[in-house]
Amino acid sequence: MKLAAICLGQPEKLPGKSYRTGINKAAISAPVILDRLGLVGDAVCNRKHHGGPDQAVLLEGSLTLDWWAGELGRPLPLGTFGENLVIEGLANEGVAVGDRFHFDAVILEVTSARIPCATLAAKMEEPGFVKRYTKAGRPGIYCRILRTGMLEPGETVLYKPFEGDRISMSELLSTFGKRFTDVQRSRLLAAPVSERLRAAVMAS
């Protein structure tokens, strides 16, 4: 695997929206510093639901983006889903909480699945996209940074699967909007999930 793209965005308003968002991202060719809160220079406008140490990076696999391009019937420029990183040869749905991605200097750990929102639907110019995205079961991947450093497009990526109970991105997304069962609650609390997800599980 390799790091196919690094994408950054700046605060701007989507058509018909009053608030600013950093979802419009584009690939860059230069190296970027990754600190504990994400890519330096990338916009995070709604910090209640986005960003923070446990959702510092949004990652997409190239195989999943290729699938979406076929599903939507059009090419998808890098950064279309607001992702920070694209990893060549990766499919999102099989990635699990606790999986790690090792780059030359940086180490990421998977913490949660991307939950679709109205901003994503507006970006895709499709009012029903939240339901469509959820049904597809191929959500983006949120990560925390275990080791900060410099990232550069084209770097080799070493993928290390979590050795404990695997909770996939597809499985995690399927719980969206539903009450957690006792079994789900126990499994999630035993995994290295994001603090937002942990709080939601404990409150359910």
pTM for this structure?
Answer: 0.92
pLDDT band, residue 180 (cuts 50/70/90): confident
Q: Is the pLDDT of residue 134 over 90?
A: yes
Averaged pLDDT for residues 143-155: 96
Position 10 scores a pLDDT of 79
CA distances from 101 to 33, 50, 97, 108, 188 (A): 16, 21, 12, 5, 20
CATH topology of domain 2-203: M1 Pyruvate Kinase; Domain 3 (2.40.33)
Position 23 scores a pLDDT of 79
The whole-angstrom separation of Cα 14 and Cα 63 is 27
pLDDT band, residue 140 (cuts 50/70/90): very high
pLDDT band, residue 21 (cuts 50/70/90): confident
For 88-155, the DSSP string reads ET--GGG-BTT-EEE-SS-EEEEEEEPPP-HHHHHHHT-TTHHHHHHHHT---EEEEEEE-EEE-TT-
Average pLDDT, the chain: 90
pLDDT tens digit sequence for 38-78: 999 887 756 666 678 899 999 999 999 999 999 999 999 99
Position 43 scores a pLDDT of 73
Position 49 scores a pLDDT of 63
* More confident of the two residues 95 and 202: 95
Averaged pLDDT for residues 133-139: 94
Position 154 scores a pLDDT of 96
Q: Domains of the chain: which residue ranges?
A: 2-203
